């Protein structure tokens, strides 16, 4: 009953949705119970209309890009999950690449290579979306999202209006952006300024990054990448390894044997297993090195 008008709106606009849907396949960890409704908006205006409706009616919602940095709860989510996977248009205009929030960052980097544009090589192999990358200021090797983005289009739930934000207005800071602070702001699309270069050189650099990931990361198992932010003057993976935690498990969650910075779902882990493993890891590392670790994984509740 509560959702009847929403379902009408979705049907009218031909928008895909699933009721009482399991959340397993929506996160790389493959953890989580179910949600009342999962919606897959297929254009930006429809996305904004749904956001406005949910906000106006006070219906709880959560936005998911590729689900590669989050853990869904073990209990039912009483609300709506908005999945941006169909908002995936990418286009090139001169030296700029514009992408909708659900576009894969790896697809963006491949299109940049095809157009002899350099700057996005570090995106190659990160399994997330533009929305997640901007939200978290994703970074790898020699690159960081804040280093190439020039502007974004955002939707403000307070005013129900779209507006452009420039680089400074993103308030990037380490692994944060304005979208972490202000949950009433939703990222719709972003524009990146790249540089013309030799296609082969760009390709080889991106390939090298992707191969380094394959050789050092446990890519066959569910994870959220690095579980912890990089502490000052060190690496979380080094501290965790030297605390003797490589391979340490709680329930079905494990500190990866291949890369101590990763927590993996090696045997039907629950969100609680991940939380407890994070708690113990932080405690052990702090005891041994007096360094506080800060988790990067987002828990949906
Ligand atoms: C194997 C592996 C390797 C990884 N390597 C790296 C790496 O090298 N560097 C790195 O930085 N990260 C890495 N990650 C983590 C993750 O891929 C990135 O942080 C990615 O940018 C997250 O994107 P996503 O679409 O999966 O976000 P999600 O996990 O879907 O969401 C993350 C957060 O972003 C919010 N969000 C998503 N879209 C929007 C939107 N449109 N508007 C507002 N908020 C939004 C969500 O609500 C959530 O709070 C890795 C993960 C894995 C599994």
List Cα–Cα distances, 168 to 15, 80, 181, in angstroms: 34, 31, 15
Q: List, for the chain, all residue ranges whose pLDDT scores fall below the cut of 50.
A: none
Q: Does one domain contain both 11 and 74?
A: yes
Residue 252 domain-assigned (yes or no): yes
Give the position, in ligand 1's atom list, of the atom nearest the Cα of 101: 41
Q: Which pLDDT value is given to residue 2?
A: 87
Q: Probe ligand 1: pick from 35, 62, 133, 136, max atoms within 8 Å of CB?
A: 136
Q: How many CB atoms lie within 10 A of CB 247?
A: 12
How far, in Å, is the centroid of ligand 1 from the Cα of 283? 25
How far, in Å, is the centroid of ligand 1 from the Cα of 69? 5
What does the pLDDT look like over 248-283, one tens digit per residue?
Answer: 999 999 999 999 999 999 999 999 999 999 999 999
**Ligand 1 neighbourhood includes 41 CB (under 6 angstroms):** no
Residue 236 domain-assigned (yes or no): yes
Taking the whole predicted model, whether its pTM rises above 0.75 is answered as yes
Q: Does one domain contain both 96 and 194?
A: yes
CATH number where 21 lies:
3.30.43.10
Q: How many domains does the chain have?
A: 3
Q: Which pLDDT value is given to residue 40?
A: 98
Q: Which domain holds residue 261?
A: 220-299
What does the pLDDT look like over 67-88, one tens digit per residue?
Answer: 999 999 999 999 999 999 999 9
252: exposed, middle or buried (C-beta count within 10 Å: 0-12, 13-18, 19+)? Answer: middle
CATH number where 231 lies:
3.90.78.10
What does the pLDDT look like over 38-52, one tens digit per residue?
Answer: 999 999 999 999 999
Question: Which of 214, 270, 296, 278 lies closest to 31, judged by CA?
Answer: 270
List Cα–Cα distances, 242 to 213, 276, 280, 281, in angstroms: 22, 19, 14, 11
Residue nearest to atom 4 of ligand 1 (CA): 225
User: Whose structure tokens read 């540089």?
Assistant: 195
Residue nearest to atom 10 of ligand 1 (CA): 138
Give the position, in ligand 1's atom list, of the atom nearest the Cα of 154: 42
Q: What does 41-102 look like in DSSP terms, one character per residue? A: --SHHHHHHHHHHHHHHT--EEEESS-SSEE--SS-EEEEEEE-TT---EEEETTEEEEETT
Q: Does one domain contain both 134 and 184?
A: yes
């Amino acid at each position: 009953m509560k959702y009847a008008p929403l379902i009408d709106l979705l049907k009218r606009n031909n928008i895909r949705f699933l009721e009482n849907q399991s959340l397993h396949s929506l996160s790389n960890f493959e953890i989580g119970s179910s949600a009342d409704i999962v919606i897959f908006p297929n254009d930006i205006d429809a996305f904004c209309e749904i956001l406005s409706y949910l906000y106006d009616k006070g219906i709880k919602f959560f936005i998911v890009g590729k689900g590669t940095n989050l853990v869904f709860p073990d209990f039912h989510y009483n609300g709506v999950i908005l999945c941006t996977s169909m908002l995936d248009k990418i286009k090139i205009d001169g030296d700029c690449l514009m992408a909708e929030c659900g576009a894969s960052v790896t697809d963006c980097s491949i299109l940049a290579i095809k157009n002899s544009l350099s700057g996005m090589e570090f995106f190659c192999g990160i399994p997330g979306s533009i929305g997640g990358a901007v939200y978290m200021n994703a970074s790898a090797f020699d690159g960081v999202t804040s280093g190439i983005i020039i502007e974004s289009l955002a939707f403000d739930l307070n005013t129900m209006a779209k507006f452009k934000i420039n680089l400074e207005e993103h308030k990037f800071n380490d692994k944060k952006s304005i979208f972490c602070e202000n949950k009433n702001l939703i990222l719709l699309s972003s524009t990146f300024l790249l540089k013309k270069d030799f296609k082969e050189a760009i390709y080889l650099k991106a390939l090298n990054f992707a191969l380094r990931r394959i050789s050092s990361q446990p890519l066959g198992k569910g994870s959220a990448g690095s579980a912890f932010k990089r502490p000052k003057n060190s690496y979380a993976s080094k501290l965790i390894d030297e605390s003797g935690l490589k391979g340490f498990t709680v329930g079905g969650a494990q500190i990866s044997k291949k890369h101590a910075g990763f927590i993996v779902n090696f045997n039907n882990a629950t969100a609680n297993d991940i939380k407890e493993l994070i708690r113990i890891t932080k405690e052990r590392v702090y005891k041994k090195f007096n360094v506080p670790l800060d988790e990067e994984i987002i828990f949906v509740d």
